Amino acid sequence: MRELRLYVMDGDEPAGRWRIVDRTRLEVAEGDVWVTVEGQPDDHWLGAGASLTLLPGTRAWVSAGPRGATFAFGPLAAPAVRPVSAWWRPFAAWRDGRRHAAASLPT
């Protein structure tokens, strides 16, 4: 399960400011959204179906296009875990057989 916060903004509303805490994806469901990210020289215009990844600590100003917009903030999907290739297993087995103690007592 994941949490999505859905926002509806009219075209004549002032921009809202968000401070991003976790890696977040802004997803536009309907309309056009204008996003200004603090510290970035360019603004982002996102249409329906588009998304923008926002990093922790980011401050973003979000505004709707003239017809309004519906958008959501949601967590990014966790990256898929890839299985490690098995080429290293024979080497690891050989090395484990030759393992020495990490430290020894003085004799």
Q: For residues 33 and 8, give the distance between their C-alpha atoms in angstroms, rounded to a whole number.
A: 11
pLDDT in tens, 49-104: 999 999 999 999 999 999 999 999 887 766 555 555 566 566 666 555 555 444 44
Furthest CA-CA distance within the chain: 82
Q: Where are the domains of the chain?
A: 1-52
Going by the DSSP 8-state scheme, the letter that residue 87 receives in this structure is G
Q: What is the pLDDT of residue 46?
A: 96
Task: Confirm whether pTM is higher than 0.75.
Answer: no
- Termini Cα distance of the chain: 59
